Amino acid sequence: MVNNDATSIQYMAFVSGEVFIAILIVAVAIRTVRGMSGSEYSAKKLFTRPAAYIVLTALLVFGLALWQDAVLFISVAAGILLGLALGRKGNVFEQDGRVMFKRSLEVTLLWLVAYVIRIGIDFAFNPAFTQSSTASPASIFIAANAFEGGILVFGADVLLSFTAGLLLGEALALRRSYRERIGR
């Protein structure tokens, strides 16, 4: 006898995963286009995404070993330094009487690559995402290689903290450019 309930649940999980990925792709595409084509300048628009990444990084610190906390903080600092350097390639300008800003191509591409890698690692190796009624290849890998799976998930956390610093550094560089060019 076929268990229709289990089949339905598996199908719903598959479909909801596809819907989530589709929404994620659309959101990332919109964010990338807006960042590259320019947005109206405001401190809120400039600092919201870096602030969200910093909060997520801060939440990661709870429950980690001291050396892991140190690695996360170092990766934030490294990201800030790189973001400050690459953020100079961003642009603050006036268009139709409005102050606009464009993010740097390098930071946008680094953010996009880091985001895709982090989401991929989370979906493939984070036990919270891989638990289901059937064993996935990733959950089998984690069960057999718990240490490597944990290292990959921690690597995703390091990537998130680096990206937080990168975005914050770019926002600070764009804010400096705004003050220098616009004089406000």
Contact, 119 vs 24, CB < 8 A?
yes
User: What's the confidence (pLDDT) of residue 1?
Assistant: 46
Domain encompassing residue 115 = 4-182
Please choose, from the candidates 102, 111, 109, 98, the residue with its C-alpha nearest in 3D space to the C-alpha of residue 35.
Answer: 102
User: What's the confidence (pLDDT) of residue 13?
Assistant: 47
Rounded to 5, what percent of the chain is helix, strand, coil? Answer: 80, 5, 15
Contact, 177 vs 92, CB < 8 A?
yes
| pTM, two decimal places | 0.74
Sign of the CA dihedral with 166 first, then 49, 20, and 25 last: negative
User: What's the confidence (pLDDT) of residue 115?
Assistant: 84
Radius of gyration of the chain (CA): 20
User: What's the confidence (pLDDT) of residue 173?
Assistant: 95
With b meaning 16 or more CB within 10 Å and e meaning fewer, what string describes 50-71? Answer: beebbeebeebeeeeeeeeeeb
User: What's the confidence (pLDDT) of residue 145?
Assistant: 52
Helical residues (DSSP H) of 2-98, grouped into ranges:
4-37, 43-61, 66-87
- Cα 110 to Cα 89: distance, rounded to the nearest angstrom: 14
Which segments of the chain have a pLDDT < 70? 1-18, 35, 125-149, 184
**Number of compact structural domains in the chain:** 1
Contact, 169 vs 83, CB < 8 A?
yes
39-40 and 91-95 strand pairing: unpaired
User: What's the confidence (pLDDT) of residue 129?
Assistant: 54
